[in-house]
Amino acid sequence: MIELKDISKSFRLYTQNSAKITVFKDVNLTVNRGELVAFTGKSGSGKTTLMKMIYGNYLPSKGSILVDKTDITKINLQDLIRIRNHKMGYISQFLRVIPRVSTMNIVSDSLIKLGSEKEDALAQASELLNFLDIPRKLWNLSPLTFSGGEQQRINIARAMICNYPYFLLDEPTASLDNKNIEKVITLIDKLKKNGCAIIGIFHDEMIRNEIADREIDVNSFK
C-alpha cells in the first residue's frame, strides 16, 4: 500500500530571484495493491511532481509518504535505494541508457542486478522483447538510435521484466501505436492481477477508461 499524508511541495528557484512555486498543499491519498490509479489534470498541474515524490526523486516540503508502512521521506539513502531496487518500477517517457550498451543487455541487466542467473534473465528478456514486437535484429544494438516508439517499449521492458509490487508510469505509451498500446495494457493487466499497485499518467482517455480503477484530478490538491 502507498499512502501520502499531508504532502506539500514547493520549489524554490534560486537562479530566478528565489521565486517560490507551490505545486501542492496537503495531499492525502492511498493506493492499494491490485489497483491502478490514474492522475489527471492539464499539463503543468503537477502529475509528474506527485509521482516523482512517491519514487523519492522529488523531496516533499512537508508530509510523509508510506510504502508498505515505511516512510520513504525519513529513511536513509541506502534504504531508499533498496526499496526502489526491490519494490518500485518507474517508467518515464524517456529512455536513459549508457551509449553502446545493447538492448538485450539493458533489459536483462535489470534482472541480473536483482540476482537472477544470466541465462534466465536473457530468456525472459527475449520473451518480453518478442511480446513487445521489437525485431530480433535490433536486440544486439543500442536503443539510442531506435524510433521513439521502440525506445518507449525498451523502457517498459527493462522495468516490467521485474516483478515489482509497485509501478509508477509517467506517460509510458505516449508514442506507441494502437497495437503496441494493447500489448502494454495486457502487461499492465497482468501486473494488476498479480497484486501490483500502479499509479499511471496517460494522456489518452481511452487507455484510462480501459485500465484505471480510479482517476484523481491533481488539481483537487491545490
Partner 1 sequence: MNMNEIIKITDLTKSFGNIIACSSITLEVYPGEIVGIVGESGSGKTTLLKCASGLYKPDSGEVFFRSDDNYVQNICNISEPDLRQLMRTDWSFIHQNPRDGLRMNISAGGNIGEKLMAIGNRHYGNIREAAAAWLEKVEIDSSRIDELPSNFSGGMQQRLQIARCLITEPKLIYMDEPTGGLDVSVQAKILDLIKKLVEELNIAAVIVTHDLGVVRLLADRVLVMKDGHIVEQGITDQVLDDPHHAYTQLLVSSIIQV
Ligand X SMILES: Nc1ncnc2c1ncn2[C@@H]1O[C@H](COP(=O)(O)OP(=O)(O)O)[C@@H](O)[C@H]1O
- Build a one-symbol-per-residue string for 29-68: x at contacts with ligand X by CB under 6 A, - elsewhere: ------------x-xxxxxxx-------------------
| Contact residue for Mg ion among 40, 48, 92, 180 (CB under 5 A) | 48
| Contact residue for partner 1 among 17, 42, 44, 96 (CB under 8 A) | 96
C-alpha cell at 69: 508502512
The residue of the chain with the least Cβ separation from Mg ion equals: 48
Question: Letter for the amino acid at 8?
Answer: S
**171-197: b (≥16 Cβ within 10 Å) or e:** bbbbebeeebbebbeebbeebbeeebb
Please give the Cα distance from 51 to 4 (Å, whole number).
11
Angle of CA points 124, 128, 131, to nearest 5°: 140
Phi-psi domain of 33 (left: phi exceeds 0; alpha: psi -120 through 50; beta: other): beta
Nearer to partner 1, 90 or 221 (CB): 90
Site membership for partner 1, residue 98 (CB under 8 A): yes
Binding to partner 1 (CB under 8 A): which residues in 51-80? 52, 56-59, 77-78, 80
Taking the alpha carbons at both ends of the chain, their separation in whole angstroms is 24
Please give the Cα distance from 191 to 31 (Å, whole number).
15
What's the closest the beta carbon of residue 167 comes to partner 1, in angstroms?
17
21 binds, among ligand X, Mg ion, partner 1, none (CB under 5 to 8 A by kind): ligand X
Could you please report the per-residue DSSP string of 88-116?
A: EEEE-SS----TT--HHHHHHHHHHHTT-
Q: In a 3-state reduction of DSSP, which class is residue 163?
A: coil
Site membership for partner 1, residue 17 (CB under 8 A): no
Nearer to ligand X, 164 or 221 (CB): 221
46 binds, among ligand X, Mg ion, partner 1, none (CB under 5 to 8 A by kind): ligand X
What's the closest the beta carbon of residue 194 comes to partner 1, in angstroms?
27
Residue 64 φ then ψ, to 5°: -135, 155
Site membership for Mg ion, residue 92 (CB under 5 A): no
Nearer to partner 1, 67 or 212 (CB): 67
Q: Which residues bind ligand X (CB under 6 A)?
A: 11, 21, 23, 41, 43-49
The contact set with partner 1 (CB under 8 A) reads 11-15, 52, 56-59, 77-78, 80-81, 96-101, 109, 112-113
Task: Name the residues that contact Mg ion, by CB under 5 A.
Answer: 48
